[in-house]
Structure 1
Amino acid sequence: MKEQSKLAQIEKEMIRYKVKILGLSGIRWPDQGEISTSNNNILLYSGNPAGEHGVGIIIEKTLRKSLLIWKPVSNRIISARLNSKVKKITIVQCYAPTETATAEVKDEFYEQLTSVLSSVPKSDILLLTGDFNAKVGSVKTWPTIGLRGTGTRNNNGERLRDIAEQHGLVIGGTIFPHKEIPKYTWVSPDGRTKNQIDHICIAQRWVKSLTDVRTGRGPDAKSDHMFLTADIKIKLAAKRVTEGSRLKRLDVRKLRTEATKQEFVPSVQQKISRRQNLNQKLTQDIYRQSGEEVLGTVNHQKKEWISDETWAAIEQRRIIRQQLLISNDPTLKDSHSSICRKIKKMARKDKRKFYNDIARDAQIAAEQNNARLLHRKKDILSNKNHRKLRPIKDKNGSLLTSTQEQLRRWKDYFAETNTHVQNTELEDQEPNIREDPTIERGAPTIREIVEAIKKLNSIEQRELMAFLQSCLKQEKLQQPTH
C-alpha cells in the first residue's frame, strides 16, 4: 500500500467486481485514522508509528452511512460495526504472525484477538477475516471446519480452529465445494508453492447467509495473495437522508463571465415578475431554481492523477498475471517483472505531472488575483486537501470513533473553554497583571520599527500602510484652518 497508485488500483478492482466491503492486511501505514478516498469510499486503517504490518477496511461509498463505530485495536487487528436491516454486523480484520514467529508473539496476538471477539455483542453478525497464515486442512472438525479445505494443518491452523470453536465461528473456505485452484489464497514468487492461508469466518447461527467463499484470479493489485471473496446475503441499512440535506452547491464561479451574468439575471427577474407577495422562502427558491438551470451544481469528484497510459499498463500486467497462473513460463515471469517496474516509473511520473499542473494553475490564479483558487491549489500542494477524518481523542488520549462519543467530547470541550464568570464582583476587580522586567517600556526606536515591518508578509504590510494613511487623513482633517 505504500507504493504510489496502489490504493487507486485496489478501488478499481472493487468497482470491477462489485465489492462493497474490503479487508486489507499488511498495508504498512503508520498510526491509525479514517480517510475519504478519491472515490468517496471510507478507508479505516490501524498501524503503529513504525509502519509495521498494518490492517485496514474499505467501505464502499453507498454504505458509508451504515458505519456505526470502528476501533483500531493494534497494527494487526481492526474492527468495524455496521448497521443492517437484520442485525448489527461486526467485522474484525486481522493480520496474524507467520508460522515461523515465536510462540510469545503468537500468544500475544491471539490473546488480543480473543479479547476483541469477546467484546462483540452476542446479537451481532460476526465476521472474522484476514491473513491468518493458517493452513486448516481438510480434516473435518464440524461445525468449525468442513471437508472442503486444502493442505495440511499447521500450528497457526490449530490456533485458528481453537479460537473459532471458542467463539462459535465457521471457516467459510472449508464448506463450499470448489476445485483446488479457487481455494488457494497465496502463491509463492516461483509459482510452485500454493496455500490456503487467508480465511473468512462467520458466526454459526448466520452461516446460511454465507452463500459462497472463493478466490478470484482476475483481480490484480500486484500482490502474492489472491482476492478472497465471500457472498453474504444481508441488506445493510443506511440512515435516511432528508431532502433538505441533499441540496448541492451551485457553481457560482460561472458568474464571473459576462455571458453567464446576462443569462442568469433575466432568468431571476422573469421568475420574480410572475410571483406576487414574495417572501424570503419564495425568493430563495427562485434564485435556487435559476441557479440550477443556468449555473449547474459543483461536481466534487476528485481529479484522477493516474494517466490512461498507466491504466493500460496495469491492465496489461493483469493479463500477464492470469497467463502466469496457468503457465509457469520464465518468459512470462520476466515480462511481469518488467511491466511492474514500468508501472512504478509511470506512476511516479504521473504524480510529478499532477503536482506540476497544480503549481502552474496556482501561479495563474495568483496572476489573476483569484485568491480562492490559489488557496485551494496551495492546500493540495501542501497535502492538506486529503480528506482525513482522523478520530478525535478523549482526555486520556484514547481514540473516539463513534459519532455520539465525538459529539459528547466536543460538548465537554466547549463547556470547559467557554465557561463564563457568574460572580459580578470578580468582573469589577482590578486585574492583577505582573510586569515582566525584561520588557523595555520606553518608546520603540526607528530601527526596531523597521525590523518589525520587515517581518510582516506582503498582505500585512499593505494593511499597515492603508491604516497609516487613514490615520494621516484623519489628523489633517482635525487640524484647524487659518
Structure 2
Amino acid sequence: MVPTINDYCDSNCLTTEWRVATFNVRGLAMDAKKRDLVADARTYSADVVALQETKIQDNVTATLEGYRLLTFKPETPAYGLGFLVAPRLSPFLYRSWTPADCERLAVLQFKLPCSGGQRTFLLSLVNAYGPTSAVSERKPEVLDKFYDQLTKVLHDVRGSSAILVLGDFNSKVGRKQCYEECLGKYSKGKRNANGDALIEFAQMNNLLRVGGQAVDYSLSL
C-alpha cells in the first residue's frame, strides 16, 4: 500500500495545515547553530524552513534529530541556501536543485499522495536570497538578473499543484496601496527600491501575501 501523509501525522494534525518559515541564519556551519535551528523549528512547529546565508561550503544532506537538512554549495562564501524539513514530510521529498549559474535561488519539491492514492500533489518551494539595497543601488543589473532568474524558475515549475516563493528579499515593501492585492493588511512603513521590485514581481506573477507575516493557506490533498 502506498503511504499518504496521514500515515506520518498525529491524529490531531490535519493534512492541509502546514507551517512554512524562512530564516536568514547568518551561518550554519557550527553544530550548535544546527541544534538551535532544529529547536526553533520545533518551537514554531515549522514543517519546512527555507534557509539563507548558511555559509556552508558544500552540498549537504544530513539528518538532525529526525529533521532533514539540505544545503547547496554557494560560489560566494558568505551566501548559501538550504532547507530544513520536518520528519513528517521527509518521506515525501521528491527533488531539490539550484538553477545553473544562480546561487541566489534553490528549489525543493514534494510529491504528496492524496487520499485514496489515485493522484499526487506536487508542491514546489522556491527559496530566494535577493541582493541588498546597497548592491542594487550600485549595480542595478544584479537586481534585474535576480528577478529574471526567479521568473524563469517559476516558469520551470509551472506544472506544480502549488508554488510557494519565500526567502530573504532584502526588501521593505512598506504600507499597502489600495490596488495591491499581493500585500496583507499588516504591512506598514516606507517602501524602498528593492520593495518596489518585489511588489512588481509579485503582481506580475499573481502572488499573494508578500511580507514578513503569517499566512493562512489551505492545500487540498
Counterparts of 1:318-467 in structure 2 under 5 Å? none
| CA shift digits 1:119-143 (9 cap, x unpaired) | 1124521111011111111132332
Q: What's 1:56 paired with? A: 82
User: Matched residues in 2 for 1:159 and 1:13: separation?
Assistant: 31
SS, match of residue 159 in structure 1: helix
Distance 1:13 1:126, change over 3 A: same
In structure 2, how many angstroms separate the alpha carbons of the residues matched to 1:146 and 1:70? Answer: 29
1:2 equivalent in structure 2:
29
Q: Structure 1 residue 115 and structure 2 residue 100: aligned? A: no
CA distances 1:214-263 after superposition (whole Å, capped 9, x unpaired): 4xxxxxxxxxxxxxxx5544377xxxxxxxxxxxxxxxxxxxxxxxxxxx
More strand by proportion, 1 or 2?
A: 2
The 4+ residue runs of structure 1 with deviation greater than 4 A are none
State whether structure 2 residue 211 is matched by structure 1 residue 234.
Answer: no
Within a 5 Å distance, the mapping from 1:12-91 to structure 2 comes to: 12-33=39-60, 35-73=61-99, 74-84=102-112, 85=114, 87-91=121-125
Deviation at 1:49, TM superposition (A): 4.5
Distance 1:47 1:104, change over 3 A: farther
Q: Structure 1: how far apart are the matches of 2:168 and 2:129?
A: 5
Q: Is the 8 A contact 1:138 1:146 kept in 2?
A: no
Structure-2 separation of matches of 1:47 and 1:123: 25
What's the offset of the Cα at 1:113?
1.0
Whole-Å separation in 2 of the counterparts to 1:235 and 1:154? 36
| Alpha-carbon shift at residue 149 of structure 1 (Å) | 0.7
Local SS of the residue matching 1:90: strand
The correspondence for 1:164, drawn from 202, 205, 211, is 202
Q: 2: distance between equivalents of 1:25 and 1:135? A: 17
Determine whether 1:135 maps to 2:162. no
Of structures 1 and 2, the one scoring higher in RCO (CA 8 A, sep 6+) is 2
- Alignment correspondent of 1:95: 129
- Name the CA shift for 1:136/1:106 in 2 (closer, same or farther; >3 Å): same
* Structure 2 contact 74–81 (Cα < 8 Å) conserved: no
Q: In the TM superposition, what whole-angstrom CA distance separates every residue of 1:80-114 from its partner, at most 9, and x where no partner exists?
A: 11123373211001111101112122122111111
Structure 2 residue runs without a partner (length 5+): 1-27, 115-119
Deviations 1:56-78 (A, max 9, x none): 11111221111111112332111
Shift of 1:148: 2.6
| 1:148–1:235 distance in 2 versus 1, CA, 3 Å | same
Give TM-score scaled by structure 2 length: 0.74
Aligned partners of 1:149 and 1:122: how far apart in 2? 31
* Secondary structure at the counterpart of residue 152 of structure 1: coil
SS in structure 1 of the partner of residue 65 of structure 2: coil
Give the Cα–Cα distance (whole angstroms) in 1 for the partners of residues 32 and 189 of structure 2: 34
Structure 1 letter corresponding to 2:121: K
C-alpha deviations, 1:330-364, integer Å up to 9, x for none? xxxxxxxxxxxxxxxxxxxxxxxxxxxxxxxxxxx
Using the size of structure 1 for normalisation, the TM-score is 0.35
1:104 counterpart = 2:141: yes
Over 3 Å counting, the alpha-carbon distance change for 1:47 and 1:166 in structure 2 is farther
Whole-angstrom CA distance in 2 between matches of 1:163 and 1:125: 18
Distance in 2, Cα, partners of 1:234 & 1:19? 16
**Cα deviation code 1:240-288 (max 9, x no counterpart):** xxxxxxxxxxxxxxxxxxxxxxxxxxxxxxxxxxxxxxxxxxxxxxxxx
Determine if contact 2:62/2:70 at 8 Å carries over to the other structure. Answer: no
SS at 1:100's partner residue? helix
Q: Deviations over 1:394-419 (max 9, x none)?
A: xxxxxxxxxxxxxxxxxxxxxxxxxx
List gaps (5 residues or longer) in structure 1.
174-198, 200-212, 215-229, 237-482
Structure 1 residue 168: deviation in Å? 1.2
Question: 2-side partners of 1:48 and 1:156: how far apart?
Answer: 23
**Equivalent pairs: percent with the same residue?**
26
Question: Equivalents in 2 of 1:77, 1:28: separation in Å?
Answer: 14
Partner-residue secondary structure (3-state), 1:158: helix
How big is the shift at 1:165?
Answer: 1.5
